[in-house]
Structure 1
């Protein structure tokens, strides 16, 4: 009789609280947030600020590795001068980095 009372009172045998079951999921979400979601949001924010700061005369590199200078720029289209005569049109989102920013606006 004494053994049955001990087993019925043991929380590890199924009598545990709801917090004991939810806590691991909350901790897992917190780890995912701080290790995956938050750094990705910061990276996206810096990329959007870089794309919004583009101006005519900036030397850039596209995602495909093409180097060029911005001749014309609109809200979502950029015209690049690749060499002395070649002009190429790209989406603004295809720009990877700015290698040299121009001083003139």
Structure 2
């Protein structure tokens, strides 16, 4: 077994090494453009949406509760889920607005 490695080792290791690494580099590039980049874009849009919440916006929480924003604070919002029923939800718990839910 060791003799095979010794026989395979030649003076031209540099181009051979590049050809071995090329598929891995291509896989990394494909992962970046098809998985990582779109996810980062969605996260940025969601963060922007959460920062722009205002009174009267219709939202959906991560728990699936639909409601209307009645008060916006620094780190949380108060949502009216029924008449005179308000809950306090962390901004990170807001996933989308009602118009996005209708599209799906």
Rg larger in 1 or in 2? 1
Alignment-derived partner of residue 52 in structure 1: 51
Q: Specify every segment of 5 or more residues in structure 2 that has no aligned partner in the other structure, as ranges.
A: 1-6, 100-104
- Give the aligned length: 89
Residues 35/14 of structure 1: CA separation in 2 closer, same or farther (3 Å cut): farther
Cα deviation, 1:23-45, whole Å, max 9, x if unaligned, reads: 22211111111111111111111
The correspondence of residues 1-105 of structure 1 with structure 2, limited to 5 A, is: 13-15=8-10, 16-17=13-14, 18-99=17-98
Look up the SS of the partner of 1:34 in the other structure: helix
Residues 30/14 of structure 1: CA separation in 2 closer, same or farther (3 Å cut): farther
Deviating above 6 A after TM superposition, structure 1's stretches of 4 or more consecutive aligned residues are none
- C-alpha RMSD of the superposition: 1.7
Q: Distance in 1 between matches of 2:9 and 2:54?
A: 64
From the two aligned structures, give the one with the greater helix fraction: 2
TM-score by length of 1: 0.75
Q: Distance in 2 between matches of 1:23 and 1:66?
A: 48
TM-score by length of 2: 0.75
Cα deviation, 1:19-74, whole Å, max 9, x if unaligned, reads: 12222221111111111111111111111111111101111111111111111111
Query: Higher RCO, 1 or 2 (CA under 8 Å, sep at least 6)?
Result: 1
Look up the SS of the partner of 2:68 in the other structure: strand
Look up the SS of the partner of 1:55 in the other structure: coil
